[in-house]
Amino acid sequence: MFSKFKASADGVVQDADRMGGFSLKETGVYDATVKLIYFGEYKSGAQFAEAHFDIDGHMHRERLNISTKLGENTYTDTKTNKPKFLPSFETLNDIAIVTTGKEFTDLVDQIEEKTVNVYDPDLKKEAPTNVSCLIPVMGQNITLAIFRQVVDKESKQDNGSYAATGETREENALDKAFHTETGMTAYEAKSGLETGLFIELWKKKNEGKEPRNLAKGKPNSGNAGAPSSSSSAGAPKAKSNMFNKA
């Protein structure tokens, strides 16, 4: 399934850290537990990872589109002409690093098929389904930076596409993953830091703000902007295990 995926060691440029049941959370940083990460594929051939996090007894679900329809996890940056990870794949890779100390591509051989409750669009409800799960991260502690945001409601059109209805809804969206004990991002761990710095910058910029507005035709609230935690454009060299986990 992931035969075309590249790792940091393949020369892919990693972005520096940038701030750019269901219960809505205010924008902030939350300790959580990874309950489930499973994989699926769209009809187009593009692959996704569905991540479920338990935050104080409430479930946060995040859909990460981790490949193109050609099954590749990278794209070519038009400014540098170098390969970069798709943003959602980089998020998945960060989750792997801050929970296990290893990159996602080092964990692929530990993916196992499990039967879990997954939403079935035909039944319009969750149903037991056999899916491929990323076992090493499940049950691990993680800290998440989450935005509360306003987005367009969409409806399916006759041609199969989706369009804004003119109404809005609020949702939570994962922005960054941190190692719980040290507060470090994956980028900071690769850089050799001992404690997280970016997490405090993120809190200072975003906590206590109104939900950011991503609805069509409305001005952005400004929360999406972010300082970089490093001026380096390239990725630090990956270590085999960033947090000394077995």
Tell me the whole-structure pTM to 2 decimals. 0.80
Percentage of residues in the chain with pLDDT exceeding 90?
69
User: Which two three-digit tokens encode residue 92?
Assistant: 């998945």
Instruction: List the single range of 11-20, 84-93, 183-192 with lowest mean pLDDT.
Output: 11-20
Pick the more confident residue, 27 or 217: 27
- Mean pLDDT, range 81-100, rounded to an integer: 96
Look over the chain and give the mean of its residue pLDDT values, rounded to a whole number: 85
Q: What's the pLDDT score for residue 244?
A: 59
Cβ–Cβ under 8 Å, residues 97 and 135:
no
Q: What's the pLDDT score for residue 225?
A: 40
- Give CA separation, 146 vs 27, 152, 211, 213, in Å: 6, 18, 11, 14
Flag whether pLDDT at 100 surpasses 70.
Answer: yes
pLDDT digits (tens, 9 = 90+) for 226-237: 444 433 334 444
Residue-wise burial string across 210-237, b where 16 or more C-beta atoms lie within 10 A, e elsewhere: ebbbbbeeeeebebbebebbbeeeebbe
Q: What's the pLDDT score for residue 162?
A: 84
The HSE-up count of residue 181 (CA atoms within 13 Å, CB side) is 11
Neighbouring C-beta atoms of residue 21, cutoff 10 Å? 7
Q: What's the pLDDT score for residue 8?
A: 64
Q: Which residues sit opposite 169 in a β-bridge?
A: 151
Between CA 85 and CA 74 the distance in angstroms is: 4
User: Which two three-digit tokens encode residue 240?
Assistant: 């085999």
DSSP letter, residue 158: T
pLDDT digits (tens, 9 = 90+) for 186-221: 999 999 999 999 999 999 999 999 999 999 854 444
Q: How confident is the model at residue 121 (pLDDT cuts 50, 70, 90)?
A: confident
Pick the more confident residue, 48 or 20: 48
- Mean pLDDT, range 119-141, rounded to an integer: 93
pLDDT digits (tens, 9 = 90+) for 41-77: 999 999 999 999 999 999 999 999 999 999 999 999 9
Give the Cα-Cα-Cα angle 59, 125, 62 (nearest 5 degrees): 35
